[in-house]
Structure 1
Amino acid sequence: MAVKERVNAYRARMRAQGLRPVQIWVPDVRSPDFAAEAHRQSALVGAADRANDDMDFVEAISEDWGE
């Protein structure tokens, strides 16, 4: 059985189970650009003023998970 036929059969079985295929695109975490952007954003968060109204709101509605 050719690869195309196996893939088609697999997809038919999945559809018969009520499923459908979905394709999503996610950031490539192996990319140097991703690492640089993640570092940039985490530095901004780390340097943010924790006394602002937004942070007070987030902390007020956050649940303590009791590490």
Structure 2
Amino acid sequence: MAIPVAVRVQKRRDALRRAGLRPVQLWVPDTKKPGFAAECRRQSELAAQADRADVELMDFMEDVLSDADGWTA
């Protein structure tokens, strides 16, 4: 006879707890929500603007790119 799913799940959870882990619940943005893609673009543009305004970051990126000259993935 097969072991019921609830028993298998409980055994797995007990093993994880014995290993020092604990369960957590994560809430993430709803990617199906209307406007999600537009909000991603908006936030990405804000981050890009901030990066372009950071002269030290731009200098660092230029140095890294010059070190990687000719490298391709």
In which range does the TM-score fall when normalised by the shorter chain? 0.5 to 0.7
Structure 1, gaps ≥5 residues long: none
Letter in 2 for 1:35: A
* Higher RCO structure, 1 or 2 (CA under 8 Å, sep 6+): 1
**Structure whose CA Rg is larger:** 2
Percent pairwise identity: 40
For the aligned residues, what is the CA RMSD? 3.0
- What corresponds to 2:36 in structure 1? 34
**Partners of 1:64 and 1:29 in 2: how far apart?**
34
- 1:13-24 alignment to 2 at 5 Å? 13-24=15-26
Structure 2, gaps ≥5 residues long: none
- What corresponds to 1:25 in structure 2? 27
Provide the TM-score with structure 2 as the length reference: 0.54
